[in-house]
Structure 1
Amino acid sequence: MSKFWDAWQNVANNPGVPGQASTLLAQAGQTVSAIATGYTQASAGWADARTAAQTTVDTINDAAAQVAQLNDQIRRTVASDGNANELLDQRSVLVTGLAGLTGATVRDNGDSTIDLVLGGNSLVSGTSARKLALVGAARVEDAAATPVHVEWAGSSVAVDVEGGELAGRLATLAGAQPGGNGGPWAESAALYNRLATSLAATVNGVHSTGVTPSGAPGGAFFALAGALPAALGLSVVPTGVSGIAAAAPGKGGSDGTIADAISRLGTSPTGPDAVWSTYVIQVGVLSRAATQQAVLSTQATTVATTAQTSQSAVDIDEETTNLLMYQHAYQSAARMLTTVDEMLDTLINRTGLVGR
């Protein structure tokens, strides 16, 4: 943007010079290309985020099915007086992972099985599991009209994902909002559209008041068409110095008043640079808030995980059995050492004493 405004200033200083006009048109083309590239990257980032969300949903469905299977195995093992500790550990690992992915809570059924509750409904109920489905927009342009969300598979009932990784991924897929509180990718794409619109409107507004070197009225410098100006609709109209309206009407072809006025749009509080700066500041504020929240969440997670591990990693019955086993093993070993000691005493101190 700065180079674009500088190119206009150079035209103002050298109106009607083909070299300066060519530089301006080249820089204008690069600016248009940069805006289009930014929009494309935002759109691609949104698409990647949706793919990642789908992968997360698939992982949740697979883990929930495994928990249901383990519930069945654990109940059968306990009913036959078997040792289900290993199965319980496997289930605990899966449940911890699901809690991290969805924020689901655990409900003990009292028969060695558990339920996993997500948004007030059971994701896992005893030995059966429900599946989630990711639905909604397939591209960033539709994210506001058709929000990406999760439903129970086979129904149109939305799932209230209260926390976890999945909630974070869904938040990044939110569509752009009037207040700028939408998902980061959609807001970024919307920014490039606003930037393209603002650039065309402000430059065209001044350019149309000037005249070309031949004295013809200046028209639009930028063409703007379509609902997605940043991606496809923004283009440069003039193809040479004859189409650039750098002079004010009645001042001759060597005047650069209009070009100078356009160059000063870069410092306008309502110009395209202001649109960009406002967004950059907003991103900085949101990034700082997100980083602080992440630190707090990490600390809370560490405390909770430590507390959980201290409880779940110890089975009192199993540890008591092991202690008894070790105690008997120690007693047996001690008895063996006593016997060996007595045998050595007999061999060393009593051998050869018979008959004396």
Structure 2
Amino acid sequence: MTSTFHGIELGKRGLAAQQTALSTTGHNIANANTVGYTRQRAEMQSTPALSINKVQLGTGVNVNSLVRLREKYLDTQYRDENQKLGYYEAKSDALSKIEDILNEPTDDGLAHVLDEFWKGWQELAKEPDSLAARAVVRQNGVAVTETFQYISDSLKQMQNDLKDIIGTKVKEVNSLAKQISELNGQISSLVANDYQPNDLYDHRDVLIDQLSKLVDVKVVPIFTSDNKDTGMIQVSVGGSLGSLLVDGYKPANPLEINITNEIDLGTDIKIGGTPIQLASGELLGRIESYGIKGGAVKSTIPYILDQINNLATEFKDAVNAQHQMGYSLEKNNDGKIEVVKANDEFFTWDDNNSLVVNPKIINPATGGLYLIAAAAEEGNSASSSTGNGNNALEIANIKSKVGDQYRNIIAQLGIESQESQRMQNNTEAIVNQVENRRQSISGVSLDEEMANMIKFQQAYNAAARMVTAMDQCLDKVINGMGRVGL
């Protein structure tokens, strides 16, 4: 025979279990809009039965655990794609800003300024002795040098900005690693006492998701020697041969980057003093855009800078070579204009190694506009005339030699920018798909939770009615038995 109070105990267990389930449902509803929250479920199991006359009599229900409804595989897939998204976002952002600096095709871009420069020489060829036409050529030359300087200065400033961004991202990585390490310690102390710190797990997963966009991460759970889960994790960075950024509750190993003019991917990036090679993530995209030493990957800003500097040098050399083959003007002692062999370059480098129009051509006291060599040698006479504009025409024809190089730079930049944008869009779509799948499992559905709330409420009410019924039975036994005739 069972205990007299068996029914009361059974009802009490039912009340406790349904109340726990109701509280869990309420917790889910309260966190429906909490970023990174994983919905929980009260796992109920019947308590051990009593054996009475070869019959197994049930004893009620207990809540064994509060389970986080989360799929680890989707977490891994999300973080793998998230690091790619961070990388391509960084590359696409850098290439987009470079395109903004070059500003092609517009009336303010270098291509248009160069076109105006060549047109100025063409007009000068028609009126080689016109000071107005010469002034236009000189001013167009100044515009070309200023545009080259603007592009160079802007790219260098962008590189300095990237240097600051890289430093900020390194601090962000180390901050996230520190928080993950501290959470490991809190989780470990609770798990050791058989608690389930589900909300702390959620907080840690959010931090890992954020970290995965910055650097490539690999997450491994930590078990005891007897294969018991400690609740802690290890986080390594740097591909298959990476180093531990987080190891349980130990202080996180700091990520360090030696930022110089260019970064050596093999030696300048370290975790805890050990060199690593980043495989993906926003930080790698920023580093490649800033500039790297060696390797097969083109470093964006230094590469474009070299291309622009090479173009400026070739442009200067080509114009100067043809210019010095021509004849300029000079006033003789009688104040008459004569044609003389040109000795001066049209472009030169200043003290800051910047391309400028020859100061002699700028300054009237040193010759000014007269020094522009518009005339070419006539026959083999080693002389020319003021009406000769053939050298100006030859300089204008340099356009076909120099212009193609700049168009190739713009075309290559456009292709790389489109490719980065395409890869960003693709990885973003994949990340969103994985996140949607993850939310379908882990996210809170208010409709589902409301249905559960009603279900648990009804079960709670029924358990309470059970306790009331058993109380009435016991009241009859205790207060009514032994009183015959009543």
| TM-score, scaled relative to structure 2 | 0.60
Correspondences of 1:174-253 after superposition (within 5 Å): 174-175=291-292, 182-214=298-330, 215-218=339-342, 219-224=344-349, 232-237=353-358, 238-239=361-362, 240-249=368-377, 250-253=383-386
Q: 1:115 deviation in Å? A: 0.5
Q: Which residue of 2 aligns with 1:131?
A: 254
Q: Which residue of 1 aligns with 2:289?
A: 172
Give the structure with higher Rg (CA). Answer: 2
Q: Secondary structure at the match of 1:36?
A: helix
Matched, 1:68 2:181: yes
Matched residues in 1 for 2:247 and 2:165: separation?
27
Matched, 1:277 2:407: yes
Matched residues in 2 for 1:144 and 1:99: separation?
22
Q: 1:145 deviation in Å? A: 8.3
Amino acid of the residue matched to residue 170 of structure 1? I
1:12 and 1:256 in contact (8 A); partners too: yes
Q: Which residue of 2 aligns with 1:162?
A: 279
Deviations 1:2-51 (A, max 9, x none): 11111111111111211111111111111100100011111111111221
Q: 1:303 deviation in Å? A: 3.0
Matched residues in 2 for 1:90 and 1:111: separation?
17
2:289 and 2:299 in contact (8 A); partners too: yes
Amino acid of the residue matched to residue 221 of structure 2? D
Q: 1:159 deviation in Å? A: 2.0
Q: Secondary structure at the match of 2:154?
A: helix
1:86 to 199, 203, 225: 199
2:266 and 2:276 in contact (8 A); partners too: no
Matched residues in 1 for 2:152 and 2:375: separation?
34
Q: Is the alpha carbon distance of 1:191 and 1:262 closer, same or farther for their aligned partners in structure 2, counting shifts above 3 Å? A: same
Matched residues in 2 for 1:143 and 1:104: separation?
24
Amino acid of the residue matched to residue 151 of structure 1? K
Q: Is the alpha carbon distance of 1:312 and 1:73 closer, same or farther for their aligned partners in structure 2, counting shifts above 3 Å? A: farther
Q: 1:309 deviation in Å? A: 4.2
The number of aligned residues is: 319
Matched residues in 2 for 1:9 and 1:81: separation?
87
Structure 1 range deviating more: 210-219 or 252-261: 210-219
Percent of aligned pairs with the same amino acid = 22
Q: 1:149 deviation in Å? A: 4.5
Q: Secondary structure at the match of 2:244?
A: strand
Q: Which residue of 2 aligns with 1:287?
A: 417
Gaps of 5+ in 2: 1-113, 223-228, 331-338, 363-367, 378-382, 470-486
Q: Which residue of 1 aligns with 2:49?
A: none
1:258 to 375, 381, 391: 391
Q: Which residue of 2 aligns with 1:354?
A: none
Which structure shows the higher helix fraction? Answer: 1
Matched residues in 2 for 1:106 and 1:199: separation?
53
Matched residues in 2 for 1:148 and 1:202: separation?
41
Deviations 1:28-79 (A, max 9, x none): 1111001000111111111112211211111110000000000000010122
Deviations 1:124-150 (A, max 9, x none): 00112111112131xxxx327899952
Amino acid of the residue matched to residue 158 of structure 1? P
Q: Which residue of 2 aligns with 1:122?
A: 244
Q: Which residue of 1 aligns with 2:462?
A: 331
Q: Is the alpha carbon distance of 1:281 and 1:48 closer, same or farther for their aligned partners in structure 2, counting shifts above 3 Å? A: same
Matched residues in 1 for 2:266 and 2:386: separation?
54
Deviations 1:218-252 (A, max 9, x none): 231111367xxxx7331111232211111112221
Matched residues in 1 for 2:244 and 2:458: separation?
45
Matched residues in 1 for 2:155 and 2:465: separation?
73
Q: 1:122 deviation in Å? A: 0.8
Matched residues in 1 for 2:346 and 2:210: separation?
56
Q: Which residue of 1 aligns with 2:269?
A: 150
Structure 1 range deviating more: 246-255 or 85-94: 246-255
Amino acid of the residue matched to residue 135 of structure 1? N
Q: Is the alpha carbon distance of 1:56 and 1:277 closer, same or farther for their aligned partners in structure 2, counting shifts above 3 Å? A: same
Matched residues in 2 for 1:38 and 1:333: separation?
79
Q: Is the alpha carbon distance of 1:84 and 1:177 closer, same or farther for their aligned partners in structure 2, counting shifts above 3 Å? A: closer
Q: 1:206 deviation in Å? A: 0.5
Q: Secondary structure at the match of 1:80?
A: coil
Q: 1:188 deviation in Å? A: 2.2
Matched residues in 1 for 2:407 and 2:294: separation?
18
Which structure shows the higher strand fraction? Answer: 2
Amino acid of the residue matched to residue 348 of structure 2? A
| TM-score, scaled relative to structure 1 | 0.81
2:265 and 2:293 in contact (8 A); partners too: no
Structure 1 range deviating more: 87-96 or 43-52: 43-52
